[in-house]
Structure 1
Amino acid sequence: MKIQGRMFMWLSFFVLVMAIVYGVWSKEAAGTTALFMAFGLCIMIGFYLGFTARRVDAGAQDHKDADVADDAGELGFFSPHSWQPLSLGIGGAIAFLGVAIGWWLLYFAAPLILIGLWGWVFEYYRGENRTQ
């Protein structure tokens, strides 16, 4: 993760320089703003990866002599049967469609998003997985 964090930090520096050059030469607000926002996103991702790399053990990608097979195995826990991301995705799509078509679509999107969030947060607090 250290390498990815450094890559994003270097990318953020490059995007910042390009945003300044683009803003000075073009004097166009939308593209300059988008480039500065991309700079902010690169900084956030780079900071997160660098911060996380300090807390976890070095992965195979951090060793120069590692093979691809060295990184095989379990990467974490992912819920195999969750339908909540589908609800969130449909609700988010309808919400963004509401910006283009009409704000009234948010009345249909908000319940889907809330149901998806509620279900995803409390997914493992039901049935046999419930703590007492």
Structure 2
Amino acid sequence: MKSTAKIFYGLTVFLFICTVVYIIGTIYVEDAGYIHGLEWAGTTGLVLAMGLTAMLGSYFHLTERRMDILPQDWEEAEVADNAGLYGFFGPSSIWPFAMSMAIALMGIAIAFMMYWLLIMGAVMLIFFGTMLNLQYGLPREKH
């Protein structure tokens, strides 16, 4: 088993232990301001997080089983062994900022229950996300 799969399997075991402790804690520990019994929101969140880490661990386990040894798994590897092409990263872009402003607009719309503003923010977010993905696919004069 490779290192990435081991990390996610370890996180799954940790979240399982946390879930058991959380369930026992919410069922048996009494609080004067709380209704006695299982607290479903936290339990559901922990179970879903445990399922996510288990799925990622099994995915990495199955994928890395078919690959050669990676520099991360080789104890005598140097930093230069992992060097290579990492891809293209644009020097600057306005679209991530525009997307965060659209998300902030949607948050304000939810806070003040303005559904028309929520829809407008969602449309803006979809447009800005599309432009982020197409910023180097469009001709320069279309930017």
- TM normalised by structure 1 equals 0.71
Post-superposition offset of 1:8? 0.9
Aligned CA distance change for structure 1 residues 12 and 100 (closer, same or farther; 3 Å)? farther
Equivalent residue for 1:82, pick from 81, 93, 103: 93
Counterpart AA for 2:75: K
Post-superposition offset of 1:19? 0.8
Counterpart for residue 8 of structure 2: 8
Question: 1:111 & 1:33 partners in 2: Cα distance?
Answer: 31
Map 1:41-80; keep pairs closer than 5 Å: 41-54=52-65, 58-80=69-91
Counterpart AA for 1:35: L
Between stretches 47-56 and 9-18, larger displacement belongs to: 47-56
Question: 1:84 & 1:122 partners in 2: Cα distance?
Answer: 10
Counterpart AA for 1:46: G
For the aligned residues, what is the CA RMSD? Answer: 2.9
Counterpart AA for 2:128: G
1:120 aligns with 2:132: yes
Counterpart for residue 109 of structure 1: 121
Please give the secondary structure, in 2, of the residue aligned with 1:94: helix
- TM normalised by structure 2 equals 0.67
Counterpart for residue 111 of structure 2: 100
Post-superposition offset of 1:113? 0.5
Counterpart for residue 32 of structure 2: none
Question: 1:106 & 1:94 partners in 2: Cα distance?
Answer: 7
Query: Which ranges of structure 1 fall in alignment gaps of 5 or more residues?
Result: none
Aligned CA distance change for structure 1 residues 55 and 103 (closer, same or farther; 3 Å)? farther
Aligned CA distance change for structure 1 residues 126 and 51 (closer, same or farther; 3 Å)? farther
Counterpart for residue 91 of structure 1: 102
Map 1:9-48; keep pairs closer than 5 Å: 9-26=9-26, 27-48=38-59
Counterpart AA for 1:125: G
Aligned residue pairs: how many?
128
Counterpart AA for 2:127: I
Post-superposition offset of 1:74? 3.2
Query: Which ranges of structure 2 fall in alignment gaps of 5 or more residues?
Result: 27-37
